[in-house]
Amino acid sequence: CPHCTKGFKERGHLKVHIASMHLGIRWQCPCCDR
């Protein structure tokens, strides 16, 4: 989503988001969670 690819990517959180999805952990992104 735009929120992950832009704002979160700048802070290096995109890697955390991707890793969480691979591990099956639900990481809360204000955009993806909805």
Q: Residue 29: give the domain boundaries.
A: 1-34
**Would the CA dihedral through 28, 20, 18, 34 be positive or negative?**
negative
Taking only the tens place, the pLDDT of each residue in 1-34 is 565 555 555 555 566 666 666 665 555 666 665 5
pLDDT at 8: 52
pLDDT value of position 4? 58
Q: What is the pLDDT of residue 1?
A: 59
The Cα-based distances of 29 to 1, 11, 17 in angstroms read 9, 13, 8
What's the pLDDT tens digit per position in 3-12?
Answer: 555 555 555 5
Total number of domains in the chain: 1
Contacts of 33 (CB under 8 A, 6+ apart): 26
The two tokens of residue 18 are 């991707």
